């Protein structure tokens, strides 16, 4: 337990391929100002067309000390000013997590500063609130990243009800796989978005998985997502293409439109089912401008608003970890261990 509420939080994130540290200045009544945020992306994975876990761990090991020092310097803070350390303990690549967790434990040990472990996805829920004071519960959350895709009912911070999740690939993972199928490199998301911008929406009409009119609230697939059928449709279309260079933008557009249609429809269902007037978008796929525009439009038609983070806070970063750590400050002192799989705290999977 921390004696007084923390004023300066240092967050550390190393769950995948971003080494990040951030300093948060906490104000009263849960307000928090981001004093600094440093994100070092590992370009090594672009060379190997995907995240290579062992290379991610090594890159974190090389960078974590400098990234933390830079974040402190940018904030004009010294280690002695930090009164709470927050680190991502899972889920993610265990070797990558271990680097951040071990480094944070070392800092905690050397300075006597309390340390709290943060769940990466709870971090993504808090990311938008750092920039948008209205991105607070009650809301519906659509978390779409490279590792996870879920739709949540969030009546209050720490109180999460799972409405739906992907049954196979995460949405970002599907973007990455289709990107590679189209010869667009890694990560696929931004490359598909760029290619789709000049694509003809009428050229390819791909299936909208788990979306049909007959679905009713209470049906198992009403909120759930699935990417595998859509991926298969893309594989067939790529094989049938006689000129992939010419068809690439249209294939990218057809894929992106199908994903967006599904995500928009499921988010609207969640808004309708919960009665919440706000939807918060998080995770790397939240960078997609076509998705943001479509969601904002559809929600506005229902009298609801979209709250989406800037691209910097949508992808993995330590600012969101510091913010979630501030919320979990009372848990400092509980053992922190890197874990590839970790139950989402406060999540009701009903």
* Site for Zn ion, rule CB under 5 A: 145, 316
Single out the segment in contact with ligand KG4 by CB under 6 A; choices: 94-102, 145-153, 234-242, 324-332: 145-153
21 binds ligand KG4 (CB under 6 A): no
Q: Which of 284, 307, 326, 332 binds ligand KG4 (CB under 6 A)?
A: 284
283 binds ligand KG4 (CB under 6 A): yes
Q: Which is nearer to Zn ion, 120 or 278 (CB)?
A: 120
**Peptide bond preceding 192: is omega within 30 degrees of 0, i.e. cis?**
no
145 binds ligand KG4 (CB under 6 A): yes
Q: Which is nearer to Zn ion, 145 or 226 (CB)?
A: 145
91 binds ligand KG4 (CB under 6 A): no
309 binds ligand KG4 (CB under 6 A): no
Q: Taking a C-beta distance cutoff of 8 angstroms, is the pair 40, 63 a contact? A: yes
Q: Which does 172 bind (CB under 5 to 8 A by kind): Zn ion, ligand KG4, none?
A: ligand KG4
Q: Which does 285 bind (CB under 5 to 8 A by kind): Zn ion, ligand KG4, none?
A: ligand KG4
288 binds ligand KG4 (CB under 6 A): yes
What residues pair up with 32 in beta bridges, in sequence order?
Answer: 26
The residues that touch ligand KG4, with contacts defined as CB under 6 A, are 16, 145-147, 172-173, 175-176, 187-190, 193, 283-285, 287-288, 315-316
């Amino acid at each position: 337990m921390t004696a007084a509420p923390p004023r300066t939080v240092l967050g550390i994130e190393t769950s995948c391929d971003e080494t990040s540290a951030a300093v948060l200045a906490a104000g009263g009544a849960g307000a928090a100002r981001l004093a600094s945020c440093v994100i070092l992306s590992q370009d090594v994975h672009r060379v190997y067309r995907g995240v290579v876990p062992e290379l991610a761990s090594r890159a974190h090991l090389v960078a974590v000390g400098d990234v933390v020092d830079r974040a402190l310097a940018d904030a004009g803070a010294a280690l002695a000013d930090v009164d709470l350390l927050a680190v991502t303990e899972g889920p993610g690549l265990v070797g990558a997590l271990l680097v951040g967790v071990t480094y944070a434990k070392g800092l905690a040990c050397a300075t006597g500063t309390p340390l709290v472990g943060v769940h990466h996805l709870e971090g993504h829920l808090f990311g938008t609130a750092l920039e948008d004071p209205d991105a607070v519960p009650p809301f519906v959350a659509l978390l779409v990243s490279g590792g996870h895709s879920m739709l949540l009912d969030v009546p209050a911070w720490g109180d999460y009800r799972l409405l739906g999740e992907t049954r196979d690939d995460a949405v970002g993972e599907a973007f990455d796989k289709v990107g590679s199928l189209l010869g667009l490199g890694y990560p696929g998301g931004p490359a598909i978005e760029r290619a789709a911008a000049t694509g003809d929406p009428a050229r390819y009409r791909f299936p909208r998985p788990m979306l049909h009119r007959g679905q009713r609230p209470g049906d198992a697939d009403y909120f759930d997502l699935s990417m595998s059928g859509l991926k298969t449709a893309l594989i067939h279309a790529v094989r049938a293409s006689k000129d992939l260079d010419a068809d690439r933008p249209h294939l990218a557009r057809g894929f992106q439109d199908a994903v967006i249609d599904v995500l928009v429809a499921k988010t609207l269902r969640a808004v309708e089912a919960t009665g919440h007037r706000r939807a918060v978008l998080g995770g790397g796929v939240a960078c997609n401008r076509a998705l943001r525009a479509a969601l904002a439009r559809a929600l506005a038609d229902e009298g609801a608003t979209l709250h989406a983070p800037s691209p910097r806070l949508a992808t993995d970063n330590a600012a969101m970890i510091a913010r979630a750590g501030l919320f979990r400050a009372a848990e400092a002192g509980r053992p922190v261990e890197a874990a590839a799989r970790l139950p989402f705290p406060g999540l009701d999977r009903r």
